[in-house]
Amino acid sequence: MKGLSVSKAVTALMLAGLVLLPLYSSLSGNIFILTLFTRIVILALAAASLNLIMGYGGMMSFGHAAYLGIGGYAVGILAQEGVGSGFVQFPVALAASALFALVIGALSLRTRGVYFIMITLAFAQMAYYVASGLARYGGDDGLTVYKRSDFYGLINLSDRVQFYYLCLACLLAVIFLIWRIVNSRFGLVVQGLRSNEQRMQAIGFPAKRYQLVCFVISGTMCGLAGALLANNTDFVSPAVMYWTRSGDLMVMVILGGMGTLFGPIMGAVVYLLLEEFLSQITEYWALIMGPLLLLIVLFGRGGIMGLLGRAGRG
Amino acid sequence: MLLVVEQFLNGLQFGLLLFLLAAGLTLVFGIMDLVNLAHGSLYMMGAYFAATFAAWTGSFVLGALMALGATLLLGIVLEVTALRHLYGRDHLDHVLATFGLILFFNEAVRLIWGPAGLALPLPAWLTVPVPILPGIHYPAYRLAIIVVALLVALLLYLGVMRTRIGMLIRAGASNREMIGALGINIKLLYTLVFGLGAALAGLAGLMQAPILTVQIGMGENILILAFVIIVIGGIGSIRGAFLAAIFVGMIDTLGRAFLPNLLRQVLSSTAASTAASALSSMLIYLLMAIVLVVRPEGLFPASRR
């Protein structure tokens, strides 16, 4: 019980930090930290979406970066074609991601285990090559988004603080949604399928249909992250979908604590801050980061959330 | 006709190279149940070692042999220090840990050899074109790759299927405890298997080095190809890896060579060239998706599981 309270305290502290960050940024005049954390919040959103299927559903998608790209390209392509309205761009980004997830999920869910990891990877690589082949939209070089999504004065995405809060609001909304999902009857079935698919099927639940719906929800959430990411960098390129990026997302989820509500945020914050911190000390930051990941796997089961829980229990 | 034969041989050569990589991956995967994303890093290290040793000794063959030994050693060190502790853990743990190793190796290479790529020049006797059919010549080096890879494939097959060590390896794959109870040092056996896998990856890397530039991250693209192959072939099956590798090598090479012309028949030439480049890169992933949809366990699943 005491263990729970330690991880709760740290989580609350982290959330408070995220909410108050723009204040600190404007007081200290440190604009860079706001830019950095906008990126962290967006990728935390992507990691949270992956956690929904990986942590709660037991579906290890190794192609989640594809949705980052699809959401991003939806914004980029529409902007290029003169449709600047966020009210069009964002729904299209979500719908495109959902559709992709529906097709991929329907095919991938025929397999399981390592095969599932690999087939999701294969589909993401296909999306990567399709994007590389889009000569009209930059091909390999990527597509510059000259104008951020326009929400007609409701919110101005070019304003750093407003954009940061938009991203944070999206993240918290997604976390809330995931919380509602995993505690609903639907979510309990999905989690039941993770532990014992045969038994659930024997009781009479159409296993694949539940898993597919969960897969689509997750993909759609990640598409939202993609749309935000394109607005953040003013740029979208096939590199966003490359398989190592899917690996990054997986690392964030596992690092923070798979199957915990706030673990992915924790993981994204720690992973990206560590990357930033180490890269300031040395150009060869990955030399430290790599073995660090190995050590975390070897000695830190359950990620940071698990570690916090154990620390609390003493 | 000339082009077709040449591309066919290119496909075969690429496929055999992929087999070397996939064989190590599938051995480690099928026997130790370890998902090793860092396998591509061993491929890269093989290429870097070869380029360095060849420059030191001034001999390509000597450099290649030394690189082979070096990757074997590196694999053993890696298994003993890090990967040994991951057996029996969740596949996700493997993915995360070996992802960390990729970061480490890429950066270590950047630190030691610098960010620019290296070149591994071929000796003169390997660059001559060899007549294979009347009027058709093929580069000697690519022929050498085909011969070496076929030999290794044969040795591997005989080693695993016909020798005592191979028998122990196969037995260890199906029941680790039983083999340990019989008084076999399973730890040592696993270390050797991992070392062998590493050496195979290193061999693929050093043989590919003169054809491509030796550069950081060169293992990552090809690693995914190797995974595609073992998934198509059926995880843990050497025979499946062999057939799938040849198949994938052929499809990839022939697709790149002939798809643009094929598409030009039905599309405008600019549309055809963009579509062809995307489609030919996608071809093998498409193939894998189809195989998995039809046969979720791969084409030749290992019989013992």
In this predicted structure, the answer to whether residue A44 has a pLDDT above a threshold of 70 is yes
What chain B residue is nearest to A292 in terms of C-alpha separation?
B100
CA distance A280 to B63: 37
In this predicted structure, the answer to whether residue B296 has a pLDDT above a threshold of 50 is yes
Query: Quick check: B95 contacting A, CB < 8 Å?
Result: yes
Long-range contacts, A11-20 (Cβ 8 Å, 24+): A11/A262, A11/A266, A14/A262, A14/A265, A14/A266, A14/A269, A15/A262, A15/A265, A18/A168, A18/A265, A19/A168
A124, A246 Cβ separation under 8 angstroms:
yes
Strand partners, B136: B133
Q: pLDDT tens digits for B172-182?
A: 777 777 777 88
A290, A85 Cβ separation under 8 angstroms:
no
Q: What is the separation, in whole angstroms, between the first and last Cα of chain A?
A: 11
* Mean pLDDT, chain A, integer: 89
Least confidently predicted of A12-16, A102-106, A264-268, B180-184? B180-184
Q: pLDDT tens digits for B34-61?
A: 889 899 999 999 999 999 999 999 999 9
CA distance B98 to B38: 5
B74, B42 Cβ separation under 8 angstroms:
yes
Question: Chain A neighbours among B 125-184 (CB < 8 Å)?
Answer: none
CA distance A67 to A240: 9
Q: Which of residues A187 and B261 earns the better pLDDT score?
A: A187
CB < 8 Å to B82, chain A: 294, 298
Task: Give me the mean pLDDT over the A210-225 stretch.
Answer: 96
Least confidently predicted of A216-225, A292-301, B219-228, B241-250? A292-301
Query: Quick check: B290 contacting A, CB < 8 Å?
Result: no
Q: pLDDT tens digits for B63-83?
A: 999 999 999 999 999 999 989
pLDDT band at B171; cut points 50, 70, 90? confident
* Mean pLDDT, chain B, integer: 87
| Burial class of residue B302 in the structure, from the number of CB atoms within 10 Å of its CB (0-12 exposed, 13-18 middle, 19+ buried) | buried
Task: Give me the mean pLDDT over the B1-16 stretch.
Answer: 88
Question: Chain A neighbours among B 228-247 (CB < 8 Å)?
Answer: 228, 231, 235
CB < 8 Å to B278, chain A: 129-130, 132-134
Least confidently predicted of A68-82, B86-100, B103-117? B86-100
A289, B103 Cβ separation under 8 angstroms:
yes
CB < 8 Å to A114, chain B: 29, 35, 91, 231, 235
Q: Which of residues A47 and B166 earns the better pLDDT score?
A: A47
In this predicted structure, the answer to whether residue A175 has a pLDDT above a threshold of 60 is yes
Q: Which of A78, A286, A37, A73 is nearest to B99 (CA)?
A: A286
In this predicted structure, the answer to whether residue A90 has a pLDDT above a threshold of 50 is yes
What pLDDT, on the 0 to 100 scale, is given for residue A313?
Answer: 57
In this predicted structure, the answer to whether residue B191 has a pLDDT above a threshold of 70 is yes
Count of alpha carbons within 13 Å of B150, Cβ hemisphere only? 8
What pLDDT, on the 0 to 100 scale, is given for residue A2?
Answer: 53
In this predicted structure, the answer to whether residue A243 has a pLDDT above a threshold of 80 is yes
At A235, which helix (H) or strand (E)?
strand A235-236
Q: Do A110 and B292 touch (CB under 8 A)?
A: yes
In this predicted structure, the answer to whether residue A155 has a pLDDT above a threshold of 50 is yes
Question: Chain B neighbours among A 57-116 (CB < 8 Å)?
Answer: 60, 62, 107-108, 110-115
Query: Quick check: A121 contacting B, CB < 8 Å?
Result: yes
Q: pLDDT tens digits for A246-291?
A: 989 998 998 898 889 999 999 999 999 998 998 888 888 888 888 8
Residue % of chain B over a pLDDT of 70: 99
Residue % of chain A over a pLDDT of 70: 97
pLDDT band at A314; cut points 50, 70, 90? very low
What pLDDT, on the 0 to 100 scale, is given for residue B305?
Answer: 42
CA distance A254 to A258: 5
At B218, which helix (H) or strand (E)?
helix B218-233
Query: Between the CA atoms of A128, A133, A135 and A137, what dihedral angle is there, to the nearest 10 degrees?
Result: -20
Q: pLDDT tens digits for B116-165?
A: 888 888 888 888 888 877 777 888 999 999 999 999 999 998 988 888 88
What pLDDT, on the 0 to 100 scale, is given for residue B47?
Answer: 96
